[in-house]
């Protein structure tokens, strides 16, 4: 099968060898696996981070967002059958989705929303799982709860922020404030449902005060947490909560003590990496997201269809992700 891989880490994305096409053996489906014909993928920051920073001895397939069609199932599969249309984010420890076929555990796969095409569906899984787990598993916000409390999302215009804003508005009573630094991202965040926006390149506290907020109860930081950390501590209310998903080189958490601020870290790959007992929770939440899409409560966060899944197009999308100027999700598809 055709696949796009990297064979040497650390190469700049404009190097022709940063991503290359290879013929690889067809994946073998294990007992709980689906063999999926990949129809569309989206690109996440994790793809670029691994390509730059993780050494390999064999060609590695990146890509942790996909939609496609089940072509075969393992001997113990009970949730899906050949011909089913699915979407999923996959497992960080297994080959990714930038290939014609992929084997993936059924417990982390959801049914594709019926009213979306494959590209629109491929924009959703990784970010939906991350956003859902942030709100409901890590921060333990209750559905329909949070009345009278405020949530500040730093980096709300990105992939995770784009679905997080929607989930927080549709499923909780939190007041949602999204940070965005450009007109296009501010408009995007408001369109998705944020009641207020602030600019994270400017001091946060004066902007929040101008909106009528002395502090906020929850901060979810999706990017450059180390750069914003002092301001986050400043604007959080005593006994507030901070959650993050990025990878600062270091983070001095001592300043959280004075306000008794709790710290929560989210990695949506934890369940699949450790084969946790509740791994199937990702199957259920993806199905819930699919139902909300079909009911019109959520919408795809696709912002650009970058065309066919080719080396050239994938390299271009990696470059855009690395520039920090992408908003929403960028997808590619098999012709």
pLDDT band for position 324 (cuts 50, 70, 90): confident
Q: Where residue 144 sits, what CATH number does that domain have?
A: 3.40.50.720
- State both tokens at 163: 């679905």
Average pLDDT of the segment spanning 184-207 = 95
Question: Do residues 38 and 142 both lie within one domain?
Answer: no
Question: Do residues 69 and 84 both lie within one domain?
Answer: yes
C-alpha closest to that of 98 among 7, 15, 8, 22 = 22
Which residue among 244, 265, 286 closes a domain?
265
Question: Do residues 238 and 304 both lie within one domain?
Answer: no
Q: Which pLDDT score is estimated for 172?
A: 98
Which residue among 236, 265, 294 closes a domain?
265
Which residue among 232, 265, 298 closes a domain?
265
Query: Which residues lie below 8 Å from residue 267, measured CB to CB, with a gap of 6+?
Result: 245
Task: Examine the pLDDT at 335 and tell me if it is beyond 80.
Answer: no
Q: What residue numbers bound the domain in which 215 lies?
A: 127-265
Question: Do residues 254 and 201 both lie within one domain?
Answer: yes
pLDDT band for position 326 (cuts 50, 70, 90): confident
Question: Do residues 9 and 86 both lie within one domain?
Answer: yes
Average pLDDT of the segment spanning 224-229 = 95
Query: Which residues lie below 8 Å from residue 98, measured CB to CB, with a gap of 6+?
Result: 3, 4, 5, 41, 61, 62, 63, 309, 314
Most distant pair of Cα atoms in the chain: their distance: 60
Question: How much is the pTM?
Answer: 0.95
Question: Do residues 224 and 294 both lie within one domain?
Answer: no
Q: Which pLDDT score is estimated for 43?
A: 95
Q: Where residue 327 sits, what CATH number does that domain have?
A: 3.90.180.10
Question: Do residues 27 and 55 both lie within one domain?
Answer: yes
pLDDT band for position 214 (cuts 50, 70, 90): very high
Q: Which pLDDT score is estimated for 244?
A: 97
Cα Rg for the chain, rounded, in angstroms?
20
CB 236 within 8 A of CB 242: yes
Question: Do residues 249 and 285 both lie within one domain?
Answer: no
Would you state the torsion angle of the CA atoms of residues 276, 278, 282, 287, taken in this order, to the nearest 10 degrees? 160
Would you state the torsion angle of the CA atoms of residues 278, 282, 162, 297, taken in this order, to the nearest 10 degrees? -110
Q: How many domains does the chain have?
A: 2
């Amino acid at each position: 099968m055709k696949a796009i891989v990297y064979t040497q880490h650390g190469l700049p994305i404009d190097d022709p060898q940063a991503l290359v096409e290879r013929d690889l053996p067809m994946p073998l489906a294990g007992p709980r696996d689906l063999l999926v014909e990949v129809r569309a993928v989206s690109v996440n920051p994790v793809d670029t981070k691994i390509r730059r920073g993780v050494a390999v001895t064999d060609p590695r397939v990146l890509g942790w967002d996909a939609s496609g069609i089940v072509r075969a199932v393992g001997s113990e599969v009970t949730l899906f059958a050949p011909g089913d249309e699915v979407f999923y984010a996959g497992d960080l420890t297994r080959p990714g989705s930038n290939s014609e076929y992929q084997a993936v555990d059924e417990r982390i796969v959801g049914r594709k929303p019926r009213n979306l095409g494959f590209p629109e569906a491929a924009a959703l899984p990784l970010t939906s799982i991350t956003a859902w787990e942030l709100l409901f598993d890590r921060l333990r916000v209750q559905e329909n709860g949070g009345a009278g409390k405020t949530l500040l999302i730093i980096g709300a215009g990105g992939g995770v922020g784009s679905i997080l804003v929607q989930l927080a508005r549709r499923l909780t009573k939190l007041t949602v404030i999204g940070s965005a630094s450009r007109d296009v991202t501010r408009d995007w965040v408001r369109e998705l449902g944020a009641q207020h926006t602030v600019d994270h390149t400017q001091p946060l506290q004066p902007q929040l005060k101008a909106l009528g907020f002395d502090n906020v109860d929850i901060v979810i930081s999706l990017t450059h947490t180390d750069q914003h950390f002092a301001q986050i501590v400043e604007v959080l209310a005593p006994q507030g909560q901070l959650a993050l998903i990025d990878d600062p080189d270091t983070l001095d958490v001592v300043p959280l003590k004075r306000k008794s601020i709790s710290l929560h870290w989210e990695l949506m790959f934890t369940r699949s990496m450790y084969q946790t007992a509740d791994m199937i929770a990702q199957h259920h939440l993806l199905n819930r997201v699919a139902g909300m899409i079909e009911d019109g409560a959520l919408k795809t966060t696709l912002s650009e269809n970058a065309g066919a899944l080719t080396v050239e197009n994938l390299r271009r999308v990696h470059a855009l992700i690395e520039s920090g100027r992408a908003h929403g999700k960028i997808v590619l598809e098999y012709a």
